[in-house]
Amino acid sequence: MLATLRSYFTSIQAPPSPTDITPVSVNWFPNRRCNYECSFCFHTSKNTFILPLDQAKEGLRSLVDAGMRKLNISGGEPFLNPEYIGEVFKFCKTELNLESTSVVNNGSKVTEKWLDKYGEYLDIMAISCDTFEIETDLAHGRAEKGKPTHINRVFEVVRWCKERGIKVKLNSVITKYNHQEDMNESISQLAPFRWKVFQVLLLEGENNGSDNGALRDARELLITKEQFQLFLERHKEQKCLVPEDNDAMRDSYLNLDEEMRFLDCSAGGKTPGRSVLDVGVQQALQDAGFDNKMFIQRGGIFEWKRVRAVPASLDW
Protein backbone atom coordinates (compact mmCIF):
# COMPACT_ATOMS: atom_id res chain seq x y z
CA MET A 1 0.00 0.00 0.00
CA LEU A 2 2.79 2.42 0.97
CA ALA A 3 4.69 1.59 -2.20
CA THR A 4 1.56 2.24 -4.26
CA LEU A 5 1.02 5.66 -2.65
CA ARG A 6 4.68 6.57 -3.13
CA SER A 7 4.45 5.63 -6.80
CA TYR A 8 1.26 7.68 -7.20
CA PHE A 9 2.68 10.86 -5.66
CA THR A 10 5.90 10.49 -7.62
CA SER A 11 3.93 10.26 -10.86
CA ILE A 12 1.83 13.37 -10.25
CA GLN A 13 4.87 15.43 -9.23
CA ALA A 14 7.07 14.30 -12.11
CA PRO A 15 7.71 16.82 -14.90
CA PRO A 16 5.73 16.20 -18.07
CA SER A 17 7.36 13.99 -20.66
CA PRO A 18 7.94 15.29 -24.21
CA THR A 19 4.80 13.49 -25.35
CA ASP A 20 2.75 15.70 -23.03
CA ILE A 21 3.61 18.82 -25.05
CA THR A 22 0.66 20.48 -26.76
CA PRO A 23 1.79 22.27 -29.94
CA VAL A 24 -0.32 25.36 -29.25
CA SER A 25 1.63 27.63 -31.59
CA VAL A 26 3.72 26.30 -34.48
CA ASN A 27 6.09 28.12 -36.84
CA TRP A 28 6.33 26.40 -40.21
CA PHE A 29 8.99 27.14 -42.83
CA PRO A 30 7.47 25.56 -45.98
CA ASN A 31 10.24 26.78 -48.30
CA ARG A 32 13.73 28.25 -47.83
CA ARG A 33 13.92 30.44 -50.95
CA CYS A 34 14.16 34.21 -50.47
CA ASN A 35 14.58 37.27 -52.68
CA TYR A 36 16.61 39.15 -50.04
CA GLU A 37 20.07 38.38 -48.68
CA CYS A 38 19.87 39.49 -45.05
CA SER A 39 23.25 38.75 -43.49
CA PHE A 40 21.75 37.76 -40.13
CA CYS A 41 19.22 35.28 -41.53
CA PHE A 42 19.19 31.97 -39.65
CA HIS A 43 16.97 29.96 -42.02
CA THR A 44 18.90 30.17 -45.27
CA SER A 45 18.26 28.92 -48.80
CA LYS A 46 19.87 25.50 -48.55
CA ASN A 47 17.31 23.89 -50.87
CA THR A 48 14.21 24.69 -52.94
CA PHE A 49 12.03 21.84 -51.68
CA ILE A 50 8.37 22.51 -50.93
CA LEU A 51 5.94 19.88 -49.68
CA PRO A 52 3.06 18.94 -52.01
CA LEU A 53 -0.06 20.76 -50.84
CA ASP A 54 -2.03 17.60 -50.07
CA GLN A 55 0.75 16.33 -47.79
CA ALA A 56 1.00 19.73 -46.12
CA LYS A 57 -2.72 19.63 -45.39
CA GLU A 58 -2.38 16.15 -43.92
CA GLY A 59 0.35 17.35 -41.56
CA LEU A 60 -1.59 20.46 -40.56
CA ARG A 61 -4.68 18.40 -39.77
CA SER A 62 -2.56 16.20 -37.50
CA LEU A 63 -1.19 19.26 -35.72
CA VAL A 64 -4.66 20.69 -35.13
CA ASP A 65 -5.83 17.32 -33.82
CA ALA A 66 -2.89 17.47 -31.39
CA GLY A 67 -3.92 20.90 -30.11
CA MET A 68 -2.43 23.51 -32.44
CA ARG A 69 -4.32 26.81 -32.17
CA LYS A 70 -2.04 29.11 -34.15
CA LEU A 71 -0.02 28.53 -37.32
CA ASN A 72 2.66 30.97 -38.36
CA ILE A 73 4.25 30.59 -41.79
CA SER A 74 7.74 31.98 -42.28
CA GLY A 75 10.67 31.31 -44.56
CA GLY A 76 12.55 32.03 -46.71
CA GLU A 77 10.09 34.45 -48.22
CA PRO A 78 6.60 32.86 -48.07
CA PHE A 79 5.17 35.15 -50.75
CA LEU A 80 7.42 33.62 -53.39
CA ASN A 81 4.74 30.89 -53.26
CA PRO A 82 1.64 33.09 -52.91
CA GLU A 83 -1.04 30.65 -54.08
CA TYR A 84 0.43 27.86 -51.96
CA ILE A 85 0.35 29.79 -48.69
CA GLY A 86 -3.02 31.28 -49.60
CA GLU A 87 -4.53 27.83 -50.02
CA VAL A 88 -2.91 26.72 -46.75
CA PHE A 89 -4.53 29.60 -44.86
CA LYS A 90 -7.88 28.96 -46.55
CA PHE A 91 -7.70 25.28 -45.59
CA CYS A 92 -6.77 26.13 -42.00
CA LYS A 93 -9.73 28.46 -41.58
CA THR A 94 -12.45 26.73 -43.61
CA GLU A 95 -11.60 23.06 -43.00
CA LEU A 96 -9.70 23.01 -39.70
CA ASN A 97 -11.36 26.00 -37.99
CA LEU A 98 -7.93 27.10 -36.79
CA GLU A 99 -7.99 29.90 -34.25
CA SER A 100 -5.20 32.01 -35.74
CA THR A 101 -3.12 32.21 -38.91
CA SER A 102 -0.05 34.37 -39.36
CA VAL A 103 2.70 34.97 -41.89
CA VAL A 104 6.15 36.52 -41.44
CA ASN A 105 7.49 38.07 -44.62
CA ASN A 106 9.53 40.97 -45.94
CA GLY A 107 6.58 42.70 -47.59
CA SER A 108 8.13 42.91 -51.04
CA LYS A 109 5.86 40.33 -52.71
CA VAL A 110 2.55 41.07 -50.99
CA THR A 111 -0.11 42.33 -53.41
CA GLU A 112 -3.56 43.78 -52.97
CA LYS A 113 -4.82 41.08 -55.33
CA TRP A 114 -3.58 38.38 -52.92
CA LEU A 115 -5.08 40.20 -49.95
CA ASP A 116 -8.43 40.47 -51.71
CA LYS A 117 -8.41 36.73 -52.50
CA TYR A 118 -6.93 35.28 -49.29
CA GLY A 119 -6.85 38.10 -46.74
CA GLU A 120 -10.04 36.93 -45.04
CA TYR A 121 -8.21 33.76 -43.98
CA LEU A 122 -5.30 35.65 -42.39
CA ASP A 123 -5.28 37.01 -38.85
CA ILE A 124 -1.79 38.52 -38.64
CA MET A 125 0.55 39.99 -41.23
CA ALA A 126 4.02 40.14 -39.67
CA ILE A 127 6.50 42.23 -41.64
CA SER A 128 10.24 42.20 -41.10
CA CYS A 129 11.56 45.74 -40.71
CA ASP A 130 14.83 46.31 -38.88
CA THR A 131 15.47 49.97 -39.58
CA PHE A 132 14.05 53.14 -41.07
CA GLU A 133 17.42 54.19 -42.51
CA ILE A 134 18.10 53.15 -46.12
CA GLU A 135 21.85 52.80 -45.56
CA THR A 136 21.27 50.39 -42.68
CA ASP A 137 18.84 48.30 -44.73
CA LEU A 138 21.44 47.96 -47.48
CA ALA A 139 24.15 47.11 -44.95
CA HIS A 140 21.95 44.30 -43.64
CA GLY A 141 21.23 43.05 -47.17
CA ARG A 142 17.49 43.64 -46.86
CA ALA A 143 17.03 44.57 -50.50
CA GLU A 144 16.25 42.93 -53.82
CA LYS A 145 19.01 43.42 -56.40
CA GLY A 146 20.37 46.27 -54.28
CA LYS A 147 17.24 48.43 -54.67
CA PRO A 148 16.41 50.46 -51.51
CA THR A 149 12.63 50.04 -51.70
CA HIS A 150 11.97 48.04 -48.54
CA ILE A 151 11.05 50.79 -46.06
CA ASN A 152 8.46 52.47 -48.29
CA ARG A 153 7.03 49.06 -49.07
CA VAL A 154 6.52 48.33 -45.36
CA PHE A 155 4.33 51.41 -44.96
CA GLU A 156 2.34 50.46 -48.07
CA VAL A 157 1.64 46.86 -46.98
CA VAL A 158 0.72 47.98 -43.46
CA ARG A 159 -1.87 50.34 -44.92
CA TRP A 160 -3.33 47.62 -47.16
CA CYS A 161 -3.67 45.22 -44.26
CA LYS A 162 -5.28 47.70 -41.91
CA GLU A 163 -7.80 48.60 -44.62
CA ARG A 164 -8.82 44.93 -44.65
CA GLY A 165 -8.91 44.36 -40.91
CA ILE A 166 -5.76 42.22 -40.77
CA LYS A 167 -3.68 42.68 -37.63
CA VAL A 168 -0.20 44.06 -38.28
CA LYS A 169 2.94 42.99 -36.46
CA LEU A 170 6.51 44.13 -37.04
CA ASN A 171 9.66 42.06 -36.48
CA SER A 172 13.02 43.80 -36.01
CA VAL A 173 16.45 42.22 -35.63
CA ILE A 174 18.84 44.42 -33.67
CA THR A 175 22.48 44.38 -34.77
CA LYS A 176 25.60 46.51 -34.56
CA TYR A 177 24.21 48.61 -37.43
CA ASN A 178 20.88 49.62 -35.86
CA HIS A 179 21.20 49.26 -32.08
CA GLN A 180 21.69 53.02 -31.68
CA GLU A 181 18.76 53.98 -33.92
CA ASP A 182 15.69 55.75 -32.55
CA MET A 183 12.68 54.16 -34.27
CA ASN A 184 9.97 55.69 -32.09
CA GLU A 185 8.50 58.06 -34.67
CA SER A 186 8.16 55.44 -37.41
CA ILE A 187 6.82 52.76 -35.06
CA SER A 188 4.19 55.21 -33.81
CA GLN A 189 3.17 55.96 -37.39
CA LEU A 190 2.86 52.29 -38.33
CA ALA A 191 1.14 51.43 -35.02
CA PRO A 192 1.49 47.62 -35.07
CA PHE A 193 -0.36 45.66 -32.41
CA ARG A 194 2.94 43.90 -31.63
CA TRP A 195 6.52 44.88 -32.30
CA LYS A 196 8.84 41.92 -31.79
CA VAL A 197 12.42 43.04 -31.23
CA PHE A 198 15.06 40.31 -31.47
CA GLN A 199 18.72 40.39 -30.51
CA VAL A 200 20.66 39.06 -33.51
CA LEU A 201 21.20 35.33 -33.01
CA LEU A 202 23.84 32.92 -34.30
CA LEU A 203 22.87 29.36 -35.22
CA GLU A 204 25.41 26.73 -36.21
CA GLY A 205 25.42 25.94 -39.92
CA GLU A 206 23.03 28.76 -40.82
CA ASN A 207 24.62 32.17 -40.19
CA ASN A 208 27.95 31.57 -38.45
CA GLY A 209 30.19 31.78 -41.53
CA SER A 210 31.30 29.66 -44.47
CA ASP A 211 34.13 28.22 -42.39
CA ASN A 212 31.37 26.56 -40.37
CA GLY A 213 29.38 25.42 -43.41
CA ALA A 214 26.90 28.32 -43.29
CA LEU A 215 25.60 30.46 -46.16
CA ARG A 216 25.51 33.61 -44.04
CA ASP A 217 27.90 35.21 -41.57
CA ALA A 218 26.32 37.29 -38.81
CA ARG A 219 29.27 37.18 -36.46
CA GLU A 220 30.27 40.78 -37.16
CA LEU A 221 26.70 41.92 -36.44
CA LEU A 222 26.58 40.68 -32.86
CA ILE A 223 25.79 43.08 -30.03
CA THR A 224 26.10 42.75 -26.27
CA LYS A 225 23.20 42.27 -23.87
CA GLU A 226 23.90 45.80 -22.62
CA GLN A 227 23.58 47.28 -26.11
CA PHE A 228 20.34 45.39 -26.64
CA GLN A 229 18.97 46.66 -23.32
CA LEU A 230 19.84 50.24 -24.24
CA PHE A 231 17.84 49.87 -27.45
CA LEU A 232 14.87 48.56 -25.46
CA GLU A 233 15.18 51.39 -22.94
CA ARG A 234 15.06 53.92 -25.79
CA HIS A 235 11.76 52.43 -26.98
CA LYS A 236 10.15 51.51 -23.67
CA GLU A 237 7.20 53.86 -24.22
CA GLN A 238 6.04 51.78 -27.18
CA LYS A 239 3.22 49.69 -25.72
CA CYS A 240 3.50 47.23 -28.61
CA LEU A 241 7.14 46.39 -27.79
CA VAL A 242 7.85 42.69 -27.19
CA PRO A 243 11.60 42.09 -26.70
CA GLU A 244 13.40 38.76 -27.11
CA ASP A 245 17.05 38.24 -26.33
CA ASN A 246 19.04 35.18 -27.38
CA ASP A 247 18.10 33.17 -24.29
CA ALA A 248 14.37 33.68 -24.85
CA MET A 249 14.52 32.81 -28.55
CA ARG A 250 16.54 29.64 -28.65
CA ASP A 251 14.28 26.96 -27.14
CA SER A 252 10.85 28.61 -26.89
CA TYR A 253 9.59 28.06 -30.45
CA LEU A 254 8.16 24.99 -32.11
CA ASN A 255 9.78 25.33 -35.52
CA LEU A 256 8.75 23.00 -38.33
CA ASP A 257 10.93 22.76 -41.44
CA GLU A 258 10.00 22.19 -45.08
CA GLU A 259 9.61 18.45 -44.49
CA MET A 260 7.50 19.01 -41.36
CA ARG A 261 10.30 18.05 -38.98
CA PHE A 262 10.63 19.90 -35.70
CA LEU A 263 13.95 21.72 -35.39
CA ASP A 264 15.88 21.34 -32.14
CA CYS A 265 17.77 24.58 -31.47
CA SER A 266 18.75 23.76 -27.89
CA ALA A 267 22.39 22.96 -28.76
CA GLY A 268 22.99 26.15 -30.74
CA GLY A 269 22.15 24.79 -34.18
CA LYS A 270 18.99 23.55 -35.89
CA THR A 271 18.81 19.77 -35.80
CA PRO A 272 15.82 18.30 -37.67
CA GLY A 273 13.99 15.41 -36.07
CA ARG A 274 11.51 12.94 -37.51
CA SER A 275 8.70 14.18 -39.73
CA VAL A 276 5.17 14.60 -38.44
CA LEU A 277 4.11 12.85 -41.64
CA ASP A 278 6.17 9.76 -40.81
CA VAL A 279 5.79 9.28 -37.05
CA GLY A 280 2.89 11.49 -36.00
CA VAL A 281 2.88 14.68 -33.94
CA GLN A 282 3.60 13.29 -30.47
CA GLN A 283 6.60 11.25 -31.59
CA ALA A 284 7.93 14.16 -33.65
CA LEU A 285 7.63 16.49 -30.65
CA GLN A 286 10.16 14.38 -28.77
CA ASP A 287 12.79 15.75 -31.18
CA ALA A 288 11.87 19.43 -30.74
CA GLY A 289 14.02 20.47 -27.76
CA PHE A 290 11.10 22.71 -26.79
CA ASP A 291 10.93 24.64 -23.50
CA ASN A 292 7.23 25.19 -22.82
CA LYS A 293 7.94 27.23 -19.68
CA MET A 294 10.07 29.67 -21.68
CA PHE A 295 7.34 29.80 -24.35
CA ILE A 296 4.85 30.97 -21.71
CA GLN A 297 7.33 33.37 -20.09
CA ARG A 298 8.12 35.16 -23.35
CA GLY A 299 4.41 35.76 -23.99
CA GLY A 300 3.95 33.08 -26.62
CA ILE A 301 0.17 33.16 -26.11
CA PHE A 302 -1.48 36.51 -26.80
CA GLU A 303 -4.56 37.99 -28.47
CA TRP A 304 -3.85 36.55 -31.91
CA LYS A 305 -7.31 36.58 -33.52
CA ARG A 306 -8.37 39.45 -35.75
CA VAL A 307 -11.59 41.27 -34.93
CA ARG A 308 -14.17 40.44 -37.54
CA ALA A 309 -16.56 43.20 -38.58
CA VAL A 310 -20.21 42.55 -37.77
CA PRO A 311 -22.37 42.64 -40.93
CA ALA A 312 -24.64 45.68 -40.98
CA SER A 313 -27.71 43.41 -41.18
CA LEU A 314 -26.76 41.87 -37.81
CA ASP A 315 -25.73 45.09 -36.06
CA TRP A 316 -28.92 45.60 -34.13
34 an active-site residue?
yes
Higher pLDDT, 212 or 12: 212
Angstrom CA distances, 49 to 29, 45, 259, 281, stand at: 11, 10, 8, 21
Q: Distances from the Cα of 83 to the Cαs of 43, 111, 119, 158, in angstroms?
A: 22, 12, 12, 20
Q: Is the dihedral of CA 68, 69, 74, 79 positive or negative?
A: positive
Q: What are the tens digits of pLDDT across the range 47-94?
A: 899 999 999 999 999 999 999 999 999 999 999 999 999 999 999 999
- Which CATH number belongs to the domain containing residue 170 in this structure? 3.20.20.70
Inside any domain, residue 174: yes
Q: What is the mean pLDDT of residues 112-133?
A: 99
- Residue 31 lies inside a defined structural domain of this protein: yes
> Is pLDDT above 50 for 14?
no
- Condensed to tens digits (0 to 9), the pLDDT of residues 158-212 reads 999 999 999 999 999 999 999 999 999 999 999 999 999 999 988 888 888 888 8
Residue span of the structural domain in which 112 resides: 22-303
Average pLDDT over residues 124-137: 98
In-domain check, residue 312: no
8-state DSSP, 217: B
Give me the pLDDT at residue 313, please.
Answer: 52
> Is 8 within the bounds of a domain?
no
Q: What percent of the chain has pLDDT over 70?
A: 91
Mean pLDDT of 111-140: 98
56 within a domain of the structure (yes/no): yes
Among 198, 199, 195, residue whose Cα is nearest residue 237: 195
Q: What distance in Å separates the CA atoms of residue 104 and residue 71, rounded to the nearest whole number?
A: 11
Q: What is the mean pLDDT of the chain?
A: 90
What pLDDT, on a 0 to 100 scale, did the predictor assign at position 309? 65
DSSP 8-43: HHHHHHSPPPGGG----EEEE------S---TT-SS
Does residue 89 fall inside a structural domain?
yes
Select which of 41, 129, 161, 265 is catalytic: 41
User: Rounded to two decimals, what is the model's pTM?
Assistant: 0.88
Asked whether residue 309 is domain-assigned, the answer is no
Domain membership of residue 229 (yes or no) is yes
Q: How many domains does the chain have?
A: 1
Could you report the per-residue pLDDT of 259-313, keeping only the tens digit for each? 999 999 877 778 899 999 999 999 999 999 898 888 888 888 889 999 876 554 5
- Is 38 part of the annotated catalytic residue set? yes
Is pLDDT above 60 for 220? yes
